[in-house]
Amino acid sequence: IFAAVEMAPRDPILGLNEAFNGDARDTKVNLGVGVYFDDNGKIPLLAAVKAAEETRLKAAPPRGYQPIEGPAAYNTAVQNLLFGKDSDLLAAGRVITAQAIGGTGALKIGADYLKRLNPEAKVYISNPSWENHRALFEAAGFIVEDYAYYDAGTRGVNFAGMKADLNKMAPGSVVLLHACCHNPTGADMSDAQWAEVVGICQERGLVPFLDMAYQGFADGIDADAVAIRAFSASGLQFFASSSFSKNFSLYGERVGALSVVTASKEESARVLSQVKRVIRTNYSNPPIHGGALVAAVLASGELRAQWETELAGMRDRIRAMRAGLVDAIKATGCAQDFSFVAQQRGMFSYTGLTAAQVERMKEEFGIYAVSTGRICLAALNTKNLDYVAKAIAAVTK
Known catalytic residues? 130, 211, 246
CB 59 → ligand TYF: shortest distance, Å?
32
Q: Are 321 and 383 spatial neighbours (Cβ–Cβ below 8 Å)?
A: no
Q: Which of 30, 158, 245, 285 binds ligand PLP (CB under 6 A)?
A: 245
The partner in contact with residue 211, picked from ligand TYF, ligand PLP, none with C-beta cut-offs of 5 to 8 angstroms by kind, is ligand PLP
* Total of chain residues touching ligand PLP, rule CB under 6 A: 12
Q: Is 11 in the site for ligand TYF (CB under 6 A)?
A: yes
Q: Which of 165, 188, 211, 224 binds ligand PLP (CB under 6 A)?
A: 211
What does the alpha-carbon distance between residue 240 and residue 221 come to, in Å, rounded to a whole number?
Answer: 16
Question: Which spans in 264-341 are helix H?
Answer: 265-280, 289-299, 301-331
CB 265 → ligand TYF: shortest distance, Å?
34
CB 348 → ligand PLP: shortest distance, Å?
8
Length of the chain: 397
Q: Is 33 in the site for ligand TYF (CB under 6 A)?
A: yes
What does the alpha-carbon distance between residue 247 and residue 49 come to, in Å, rounded to a whole number?
Answer: 11
Task: Work out the angle at residue 88's Cα, subtended by the Cα atoms of residues 84 and 89, and round it to the nearest 5 degrees.
Answer: 85
The partner in contact with residue 103, picked from ligand PLP, ligand TYF, none with C-beta cut-offs of 5 to 8 angstroms by kind, is ligand PLP
Strand pairing partners for 103? Answer: none
Closer residue to ligand PLP (CB): 79 or 104: 104
What does the alpha-carbon distance between residue 287 and residue 305 come to, in Å, rounded to a whole number?
Answer: 26
Taking the CA of residue 51 as centre, how many other CA atoms within 13 Å lie in the half-sphere pointing to its CB? 16
Q: Provide the mask over 104-123, with x wherever binding to ligand PLP is found by CB under 6 A and - wherever it is not.
A: x-------------------
Q: Which of 130, 150, 159, 231 binds ligand TYF (CB under 6 A)?
A: 130
> Which region, judged by CB under 6 A, interacts with ligand TYF, from 9-17, 141-149, 190-198, 335-343?
9-17
The partner in contact with residue 324, picked from ligand PLP, ligand TYF, none with C-beta cut-offs of 5 to 8 angstroms by kind, is none
What does the alpha-carbon distance between residue 345 and residue 348 come to, in Å, rounded to a whole number?
Answer: 7
Closer residue to ligand TYF (CB): 96 or 140: 140
> Which region, judged by CB under 6 A, interacts with ligand PLP, from 14-22, 98-106, 267-275, 387-395?
98-106
- Residue 51: CB partners within 8 Å, gap ≥ 6? 303, 306
Conformation bin of residue 284: beta by default, left when phi > 0, alpha when psi is -120 to 50:
left
By C-alpha distance, which of 32, 38, 40 is closest to 313?
Answer: 38
Task: Output phi, psi for 40, to 5 deg.
Answer: -95, 10
Q: Which of 75, 79, 173, 183 binds ligand PLP (CB under 6 A)?
A: 183
Q: Is 371 in the site for ligand TYF (CB under 6 A)?
A: no
Which H helix or E strand runs over 147?
strand 144-148
The partner in contact with residue 242, picked from ligand PLP, ligand TYF, none with C-beta cut-offs of 5 to 8 angstroms by kind, is none
User: What crossing angle do the helices spanning 265-280 and 102-117 adopt, rounded to 10°?
Assistant: 110
CA quadruple 189, 178, 316, 289: dihedral, nearest 10: 160
CB 304 → ligand PLP: shortest distance, Å?
20
For ligand PLP, the binding residues (CB under 6 A) are 34, 102-104, 130, 178, 183, 211, 213, 243, 245, 256
For ligand TYF, the binding residues (CB under 6 A) are 11, 13-14, 33-34, 130, 132, 183
